[in-house]
Chain A
Amino acid sequence: DAGVTQSPTHLIKTRGQQVTLRCSPKSGHDTVSWYQQALGQGPQFIFQYYEEEERQRGNFPDRFSGHQFPNYSSELNVNALLLGDSALYLCASNPVGHHQETQYFGPGTRLLVL
């Protein structure tokens, strides 16, 4: 059983560009959350998707947007990239009906903005 998968593993962009990161949840999971982890910091909650809708959002600007597809996979889009967007982006999923249980994290996408 595959766990949470993310693509790509690494990405280099320049300021002002746009980026799309992808996540496939663990089998049987329907809720996907995205986190940003800057170097030396703990992960910060960006937003969560359930039933193809954004259910909750952290303190991130509108440049950060997302989408969830009918197969529960998800995308994170970041527009007008800033140097400060360089970070490890983590995706996590929850099992159906267990929204308060442990989240399973993917390996992350390392984004470098030059």
Chain B
Amino acid sequence: KQEVTQIPAALSVPEGENLVLNCSFTDSAIYNLQWFRQDPGKGLTSLLLIQSSQREQTSGRLNASLDKSSGRSTLYIAASQPGDSATYLCAVSLPGANSKLTFGKGITLSVRP
């Protein structure tokens, strides 16, 4: 059974800091890995999707990396801003799973002005 872990559960940093959010998964035979952002009480917004054959994806100040062999992914946020405050979730899908996603519990990020 695939399990996804995100530690710590919460993180508070000052504005401008570069930060790394971690995600680990138990079954390395994933099809892809996604990072989502969730604002309080809202739905999920896809930030980055990494296919199993890829090592990283970049979008603006965000960079996500994937190491399948070790079962790890990181989301790097450069020059953090108060508007980055949200919960960040990673999710994996398995081959043949018809896009069913298995999520971690998320990391709640607070960026202090």
Contacts and interface: CB of A to CB of B under 8 A. Distances in A.
A23 to B, nearest CB: 11
A110 B36 CA distance: 19
Interface in B95-113: 97-106
Interface residues of B, number: 25
B43 interface: yes
Given A42-B89, A42-B105, A43-B103, A56 B97 contact: yes
Contacts, number: 68
A57 B43 CA distance: 21
B9 to A, nearest CB: 8
Interface string B36-65: 100001111110010000000000000000
Contact of B101 (A31, A50, A103): A103
Given A88-B41, A102-B46, A107-B43, A43 B101 contact: yes
Interface string A58-92: 10000000000000000000000000000010101
A72 to B, nearest CB: 15
A94 interface: yes
Interface in A33-55: 33, 35, 40-45, 48, 50, 55
B105 A103 contact: no
B32 interface: yes
Interface of A: 4, 31, 33, 35, 40-45, 48, 50, 55-56, 58, 88, 90, 92, 94, 99-108, 110
21 contacts: A33-B101, A42-B89, A42-B91, A42-B103, A43-B44, A48-B98, A48-B100, A50-B98, A58-B100, A92-B101, A94-B99, A100-B31, A100-B32, A100-B99, A103-B46, A104-B46, A105-B36, A105-B43, A107-B43, A108-B41, A108-B43
Interface of B: 4, 31-32, 34, 36, 41-46, 49, 89, 91, 93, 97-106
